[in-house]
Amino acid sequence: MHKVLIWDLPTRIFHWALAGSIGATFVFAYGFDENDSRFQWHMLAGLIAAFLLVVRVVLGFVGTRYVQWKYFFLRPADSLSYFRSLFRGPAILYAGHNPGTSLVALLMFALIPLLVLTGITQEWEISEDLHAGLAIALAVAVGLHLAGLAFYTIRQRDNISAAMVTGYKTAPINSGITSARPWTALVLVVVIAAWVNALLGTYDTRQATVKIPGLSGVVHLGENKKWKFWD
């Protein structure tokens, strides 16, 4: 088997930006008291994760082959034969996401909007309860993701994690994409940086409010305020 180009640069940039923002939400949520102004960074990181997800949805339609939505494999029969082959070895090779990463990635993609929704509607008691539970579910999903990568690496003696850095993965020789799309990556970086800059530009530390670029709502980030999206 050969190392072939599977993950284009936009996907890799999206991945590490998402991992960073999700990591930050947990660090700031558990690292600081809710009354500490630094807790507000928890919510800013969550809003950034939400924007990254919007970008990812678009990439799922316009991106290179393995980023597209149709390349996520969820059929129980596929998953069963994949996991059987993984435990017995050698694993069935998937050029893009295997059934394991397909499932865990889609789980994360579903949990993040729910977390943001319950995060910005904290004035409702139900949101408060749900938010903490959803956060645990996301932590479990990330844990499964990392455990899956570690298991694959040991079992297959193939460092699959490197693929999200270099773009190259062990896969059948003719399965690669032809370009890493550096220009699309540049546009992506500019768009993400501009959005984050616009978000932080509206951030009022004293009032603990922020406006979402492109939307008319104000989000209250302070513990003693009522969180109301449309204000």
Chain contacts with ligand HEM (rule: CB under 6 A): 11, 14-15, 18-19, 22-23, 25-26, 29, 34, 42-43, 46-47, 49, 56, 67, 97-98, 101, 105, 108, 112, 115-116, 119-120, 122, 128, 131-132, 135, 138, 142, 145, 149, 160-161, 163-164, 219
> CB of 195: closest distance to ligand HEM in angstroms?
15
**Which string of DSSP letters, residue by residue, matches 133-153?**
HHHHHHHHHHHHHHHHHHHHH
Nearest to 26 by CA among 122, 106, 111, 123: 111
> CB of 1: closest distance to ligand HEM in angstroms?
14
Distance CA 100, CA 9 (A): 22
Q: Which is nearer to ligand HEM, 11 or 184 (CB)?
A: 11
Q: Which is nearer to ligand HEM, 150 or 194 (CB)?
A: 150
Q: Residue 6: helix, strand or coil by DSSP?
A: coil
Q: Which is nearer to ligand HEM, 138 or 188 (CB)?
A: 138
> CB of 194: closest distance to ligand HEM in angstroms?
20
Contacts by 70-73, CB closer than 8 A, 24 or more apart = 71/96, 71/97, 72/97, 72/102, 72/105, 72/106, 73/97, 73/98, 73/99, 73/102
> CB of 84: closest distance to ligand HEM in angstroms?
18
Q: Which is nearer to ligand HEM, 143 or 182 (CB)?
A: 143
> CB of 29: closest distance to ligand HEM in angstroms?
4
> CB of 93: closest distance to ligand HEM in angstroms?
10
Q: Which is nearer to ligand HEM, 80 or 229 (CB)?
A: 229
Nearest to 223 by CA among 26, 28, 40: 40
Q: Are 212 and 199 in contact (CB under 8 A)?
A: yes
Q: Which is nearer to ligand HEM, 14 or 82 (CB)?
A: 14
Distances (CA, A) of 145 to 63, 112, 117, 160, 205: 22, 15, 23, 12, 35
Q: Residue 5: helix, strand or coil by DSSP?
A: strand
